[in-house]
Amino acid sequence: MRDEQFGFRPRHSTSLQLARLVERMTGNFCEKRLTGTVFLDVAKASDTVWIDGLLYKLTLLNFPSYVVRTISSCPRWPRALIQS
């Protein structure tokens, strides 16, 4: 699992990832560089989004391979199993 993936790892909270993002954006702003972001609510989307189709489209659109790998490594269990 990549270091950038925080949601499913012990001691890697969303708050910590947000602080990391703000730090990177601030640095890029100071260097007059752009910052692009994608936010996925995987807990809500896992049972409604066709993940294989999403990965296929991201590949066709030439998204960086690390983005596709990160999304493909997210758990895909139905929420009913997680909440029980």
pLDDT score recorded for residue 81: 46
Q: Which of 20-24, 39-43, 47-51, 69-73 has the lowest mean pLDDT?
A: 39-43
Rounded to whole angstroms, the Cα distance separating 72 from 59 reads: 12
pLDDT score recorded for residue 82: 47
Distances (CA, A) of 3 to 30, 56, 60: 24, 23, 25
pTM (two decimals): 0.44
Q: Which of 20-24, 42-46, 59-63 has the lowest mean pLDDT?
A: 42-46
- The answer, yes or no, to whether residue 83 has pLDDT greater than 60, is no
Angle at CA 13, nearest 5°, toward 9 and 15? 160
